[in-house]
Chain A
Amino acid sequence: MTVKVEVVEGGVPHSKVMIVGLILTIVCIYLTYLNVLTKTELFSFFGGLAAVAALTWGSSTIKVLCSYGIGTGVPSAGMVSFGSGVIAMLFATKFGILSPIVAVVLAAVIGAILGYVANRVIAMKIPVMVKSLTELAMVGSLTLMGFTALITGSFNFSALIAPNTVLTITSAGLTATTSYLTSYIGGALIATVFLLGAIAVQHPFNACLGPNWTQDRMLMLAVECGFISMIVASLMSMPFVRIDAAIISLIVSIIGWYYTYAKYFELSKRDAAAWLDLSPIPEQEGH
């Protein structure tokens, strides 16, 4: 039996973070559907905002899970989140307008099975394991779906594998072949997005763990990690969506990142023992 070593003290309860995170994520992913309704790609940036909301919720979940003495397992929690999430997300993209809902349900099932296996078969016996892995799988699939919508402008499978025609000159003349290598999945850009999200979801708690952990500082860092990932994701969206849509995503993400990064510095300054520049090690009693 593992003993819980840290307790969540003060701040917003995790269930509230989870509900707000889930609703915001789903709403933002659905807002990218405005692309289809208005026949533009200008609303792609809502996908990035969905990923930011999901990552913030995920970092809070990792805090709950990893309070049970899983110190070195924090990065692994990020990997398991996206490893289970990518399956649900890829399958769900075949369901058109229902994709985000299918992704949530399927990820919950996969996460619950993984949690059951971890607790019963591997016998880790952590009380929140099933619930946390369920949440983490949902976070993984929704973050991937959000970034996918940001980069390709859609969460439909057909947009993810959109092939293009390559003309090659051979001895028989000009031949046209279909190439999937320039698509989001064929070009394996999803691998980059996978790691972007997996590191971003585990980093806030991994960086802020310790006796003076504070919730607002960790959640601010989670939002910051989401926005910095969104910056590079919007750069990677440039070959897929129209340049004005990519630039809107870039501007939104840079503004969000700068604000949260500055805020995080403030909060760290508030919590730190001292904020020194070019100082030696302070003298302490007994050493």
Chain B
Amino acid sequence: MENIVLGIGITALAGALAAVAGAAEDTESNIGSQGDPNSQVQLAPQMGYIHRIFNKAVAGEPPAYGLWCALGAGLTWAFLAMQLNAVLAIVLGCAITIFVQGVYATTAYLGRTASLAKFGQPVYIDILKSMTSVTMAHAFVAVFCTVTICYLMNSALGHPFPLPILGFIWGIALGAAGSATGNPYYGKERQYQNQKFGAGVPIAASGNIVRYAEAGVRNSLDNGWFTAKLGGAASGLCFGFIVFLELWRTVLFEKVGAGWGAIVVGILIILVFMVVDRFIEVWARKTYGPYTKPEEA
């Protein structure tokens, strides 16, 4: 019984950490225009829209966060093997990882922008200085929380996988959650505020992203500020739910039917979410959607 109470406590803590990680990850990727909205940032100068948006595409979010979290976990593992204190090992491992992330971010921005010289897109050094440090800070929060979750799973819950492979798996999950949940809000709502709500992006509007702010020129920090309100929170909720429900079903039902209990509960959770998703989608289409029958003139 004590084990289960401890397990539930770890589950709650991991869920809370995951919520913070998801929110930080989405804000970081939006400031860097990573993920699918990046294609429009990349396209804009080619259509004649020179902008001051940070354009750092290291890879898609899942592989990139797979690397950051696996690297954070790998370095932590190495420091733990050298008998370092766990908290110190995690902080040090994540800090070195974020140094690598920052280097990748600067080279991505410089490379992408220099390759667009034909269209007159200049390299803005102030963008490089101010945005890279902000993305590094957000990435540190995301990676630190994820590596801590992996450490808790490994040491407190006795997960059989070693730390680096847990970092690999949960890093990809974190990137996928942030990419799937947060990006529509940044890509469709923020980049295309000049389009009619729900209109999608017609070919004629491709690359015509919003480049000017309420006062002056818009940069990526404005985008991070905007998406942190709803997009970041939604991504945090998504990743928090994933981690919490995954651990919850394992802690409570692992002993039922020699492990089959946890698998059955996992499938039940997926079914429940499918029903809920379908309900929300139908409701949203009915309430807001353009997919209704065209009105007769």
Q: Which residues of A contact B289 (CB under 8 A)?
A: none
Q: What's the nearest-Cβ distance from chain B to residue A282, in Å?
A: 6
Contact B66 A195 (CB under 8 A): yes
Contact A208 B162 (CB under 8 A): no
Q: What is the CA–CA distance of A111 and B124 in the complex, to the nearest angstrom?
A: 41
Interface string of B61-95 (1 = CB under 8 A from A): 00110110011011101100110000000000000
Report which residue of B70, B114, B121, B162 has the largest number of chain A beta carbons within 10 angstroms of its beta carbon: B114
| Stretch in contact with the other chain, from B2-10, B47-55, B260-268 | B47-55
Contact of B71 among A187, A192, A207, A238 (CB under 8 A): A192
| Stretch in contact with the other chain, from A41-49, A117-125, A170-178, A263-271 | A263-271
Task: Give the residues from 138 to 183 in chain A that come closer than 8 angstroms, CB to CB, to chain B.
Answer: 181-182
CB-nearest residue of chain A relative to B46?
A211
Q: Which residues of A contact B30 (CB under 8 A)?
A: none
B284 at the interface (CB under 8 A from A): no
Contact A221 B107 (CB under 8 A): yes
CB-nearest residue of chain A relative to B52?
A281
Q: What is the CA–CA distance of A181 and B160 in the complex, to the nearest angstrom?
A: 10
Q: Which residues of B contact A195 (CB under 8 A)?
A: 63, 66-67, 70-71, 168
Q: How large is the interface on B (under 10, 10 to 19, 20 to 34, 35 or more residues)?
A: 35 or more
Contact A287 B48 (CB under 8 A): yes
Q: Which residues of A contact B64 (CB under 8 A)?
A: 199
B113 at the interface (CB under 8 A from A): yes
Interface string of A202-222 (1 = CB under 8 A from B): 111011111111000110010
Q: Which residues of B contact A271 (CB under 8 A)?
A: 114-115, 117
Q: What is the CA–CA distance of A37 and B217 in the complex, to the nearest angstrom?
A: 63
Q: Which residues of B contact A212 (CB under 8 A)?
A: 114-118
Report which residue of B58, B59, B216 has the largest number of chain A beta carbons within 10 angstroms of its beta carbon: B59
Report which residue of B126, B161, B162 has the largest number of chain A beta carbons within 10 angstroms of its beta carbon: B162
Contact residues of B: prevailing secondary structure: helix
Contact A209 B115 (CB under 8 A): yes
Contact B126 A206 (CB under 8 A): no
A189 at the interface (CB under 8 A from B): yes
Contact B48 A286 (CB under 8 A): yes
Contact A235 B78 (CB under 8 A): yes
Q: What's the nearest-Cβ distance from chain A to residue B91, in Å?
A: 14
- Given contacts A207-B107, A272-B123, A275-B125, are A199 and B59 in contact (CB under 8 A)? yes
Interface string of A78-98 (1 = CB under 8 A from B): 110000000000000000000
Interface string of A255-279 (1 = CB under 8 A from B): 0000001001101110111111111
Contact residues of A: prevailing secondary structure: helix
- Given contacts A79-B63, A284-B48, A287-B49, are A239 and B78 in contact (CB under 8 A)? yes
Contact B77 A189 (CB under 8 A): yes
Contact A192 B164 (CB under 8 A): yes
Q: What's the nearest-Cβ distance from chain B to residue A231, in Å?
A: 8
Q: Which residues of A contact B125 (CB under 8 A)?
A: 275-277
Contact of A203 among B70, B71, B75, B104 (CB under 8 A): B104
Contact A203 B58 (CB under 8 A): yes
CB-nearest residue of chain B relative to A261?
B103
- Given contacts A195-B63, A208-B111, A236-B74, are A277 and B164 in contact (CB under 8 A)? no
Q: Which residues of A contact B67 (CB under 8 A)?
A: 195-196, 198-199
Q: Which residues of A contact B104 (CB under 8 A)?
A: 199, 203, 225, 228
Q: Which residues of B contact A224 (CB under 8 A)?
A: 103, 107
A191 at the interface (CB under 8 A from B): yes
Q: What's the nearest-Cβ distance from chain A to residue B213, in Å?
A: 12
Contact A188 B107 (CB under 8 A): no
B100 at the interface (CB under 8 A from A): yes
Q: What is the CA–CA distance of A124 and B156 in the complex, to the nearest angstrom?
A: 47
Contact A189 B117 (CB under 8 A): no
Interface string of B236-262 (1 = CB under 8 A from A): 000000000000000000000000000
CB-nearest residue of chain A relative to B162?
A188
Residue ranges of A at the interface with B (Cβ–Cβ < 8 Å): 74-75, 78-79, 181-182, 186-189, 191-196, 198-199, 202-204, 206-213, 217-218, 221, 224-225, 228, 231-232, 235-236, 238-239, 261, 264-265, 267-269, 271-282, 284, 286-287
11 cross-chain CB contacts under 8 A: A189-B164, A192-B71, A212-B117, A228-B103, A235-B75, A236-B78, A239-B82, A273-B118, A275-B123, A281-B52, A284-B120
Known pairs A186-B162, A275-B123. 8 more at Cβ < 8 A?
A187-B163, A204-B111, A206-B58, A207-B110, A208-B115, A238-B82, A273-B119, A284-B48
Residue ranges of B at the interface with A (Cβ–Cβ < 8 Å): 48-52, 57-60, 63-64, 66-67, 70-71, 73-75, 77-78, 81-82, 96-97, 100, 103-104, 107-108, 110-126, 161-165, 167-168, 211, 216-217
